[in-house]
Structure 1
């Protein structure tokens, strides 16, 4: 009889959880959500929705004891549990103003109930404390999860969105010889602008250090050719990027592709999942045809 009353009250509370999920804890309270490199799991006290739902909501505290606790892993963490490497091709979650919505693999684990009743027909160890998880983690599949209540550290995709807005350097195109060149003598291209820069940004109260590095260079020579290199070139006599021209006037420019790494609150560095580009100011020069002229040596 007593167990029946408890079950009835528990069922009633469960119907109220979506409304009360942000209230103070009732019963046991789990540890605050944490993240780390490696397993990288975000701890979750309560999840709305059901397995297979495309959109779910995660809460840091629950209004009453529930049968499970959850953890969230990004697809990158599932692909590579040590380094968080991504395989790519993951769905993109729609964003809402003022909300943090991230694609996660949702996993759940049974929790020891106050009345020690079995969950999914499996009873906990008699010595296990109330509120502790038991059994393995079950995978509920991928969902776009609203984790605003958890205030998790910035996700790689969130950092990438900031990275795209940074005032990255527009590398200057240098050309030798300057101003005018001669047909038959290759024109040398290089840039002497900084090819790395560090930015410190605040993302939702987290200090994120983003280190941007130029990863490739596309030299538009102005005559229909684009030279792609992984080095910034060098001036004479150490030149590595050259191009032959016929006579005429040309305008060359440089497009730089930037990649980056980032660290949150002094933590381990990780790759920003994407690149961005900057366009430098163009340079215009003339290529002249040298002609042989016979002269009288006695003039």
Structure 2
């Protein structure tokens, strides 16, 4: 019973270890001009991994094969960060280009390991009194520094992941233009178009990958403000009369119109071939209010 309880506790601790981050190991602390290359998890933190997660990279998960849990936890660090943490400056030897096949993520990294207390209280190094299963022991030790395929740990952003970023981009809100520019006349249609930019490119960092999202307006929905015909659609932004994108015949009165734009996009990851973002998002432009007046016929003497 006690052994089973210890194993359950240790399994919980190992799961927790996988999620632990060391906030003191910020890649941004690197002062050398070439150092701010992103960490594995692409930010200011370094993630610690169980032997099961890292074993495929180094060929050994350190578990001992007896079901008592791993002897070590592991982490991946940039050599530059380690050099500076030890009081030295980065140099050319701390950087190496790592060729990678399409869709693979290969980085020049140092693998470190640190002993951990196993479920039965044993460890790869002497265990001090009071240590509990799951406790770390000793310091981080460098195992190797080389080009590592870390795709399984940090795969390139998926299209769905890129779409989640695309939905949050500050896409432009396009302005509605109309003619006549002042009051309209009943019996004559009001023409709509927009002269705002209909394409914009954004560069975002997703887990250390440079993702370029090229957004483009795909559909223009003109909100007329008239319940009889609430919307008009176009696939082009149009232009001033006679190239308007849409038009509507209003009754006399005061009306408020606006433009909803549907955006699509393509994206690249670290200079890859473009791919479609699997979804669209919309923006609403500022409303525009205008009057439509009734024209009054006036008889005049053409000889006056």
Query: Pairwise CA RMSD of aligned residues?
Result: 3.4
SS in 1 for 2:67: helix
Pair 1:295 & 2:300 matched: yes
- In 2, the alpha carbon distance for the partners of 1:232 and 1:201 equals 27
Q: Please give the per-residue CA displacement for 1:246-280, whole angstroms capped at 9, x wherever unaligned.
A: 11110000011111110000001111111111110
Pair 1:187 & 2:187 matched: no
Q: Hey, what does 1:159 align to over in structure 2?
A: 162
Alpha-carbon distance change, 249 to 41 in structure 1, aligned in 2, over 3 angstroms: same
Alpha-carbon distance change, 23 to 205 in structure 1, aligned in 2, over 3 angstroms: closer
Pair 1:199 & 2:202 matched: yes
- In 1, the alpha carbon distance for the partners of 2:192 and 2:175 equals 10
Displacement of 1:228: 1.7
Do the aligned partners of 1:197 and 1:213 also contact (CA within 8 Å) in 2?
A: yes
Q: 1:170 aligns with which of 169, 173, 176?
A: 173
Alpha-carbon distance change, 198 to 247 in structure 1, aligned in 2, over 3 angstroms: same
Return the TM-score normalized by structure 2: 0.52
- In 2, the alpha carbon distance for the partners of 1:227 and 1:214 equals 16
Which stretches in structure 1 are left out of the alignment for 5+ residues? Answer: 1-9, 25-31, 44-59, 61-146
Runs ≥4 residues deviating over 6 A: none
Q: Hey, what does 1:150 align to over in structure 2?
A: 153
Do the aligned partners of 1:215 and 1:258 also contact (CA within 8 Å) in 2?
A: yes
Q: 1:231 aligns with which of 230, 236, 245?
A: 236
Q: Hey, what does 1:126 align to over in structure 2?
A: none
Q: 1:270 aligns with which of 266, 275, 279?
A: 275
Pair 1:218 & 2:270 matched: no
Alpha-carbon distance change, 191 to 19 in structure 1, aligned in 2, over 3 angstroms: farther
Do the aligned partners of 2:63 and 2:69 also contact (CA within 8 Å) in 1?
A: no
Equivalent residue pairs, number: 181
- In 1, the alpha carbon distance for the partners of 2:207 and 2:187 equals 57
- In 1, the alpha carbon distance for the partners of 2:271 and 2:222 equals 36
Do the aligned partners of 1:35 and 1:153 also contact (CA within 8 Å) in 2?
A: no
SS in 2 for 1:212: strand
Displacement of 1:238: 2.1
SS in 2 for 1:150: coil
Alpha-carbon distance change, 273 to 18 in structure 1, aligned in 2, over 3 angstroms: farther
Q: Hey, what does 1:15 align to over in structure 2?
A: 67
Displacement of 1:35: 6.8
Q: Please give the per-residue CA displacement for 1:220-263, whole angstroms capped at 9, x wherever unaligned.
A: 11112201221112211222411111111100000111111100
Return the TM-score normalized by structure 1: 0.53
Displacement of 1:287: 0.8
Q: Superposition pairs for residues 16-55 of structure 1, below 5 Å?
A: 22=74, 36=102
Displacement of 1:298: 5.8
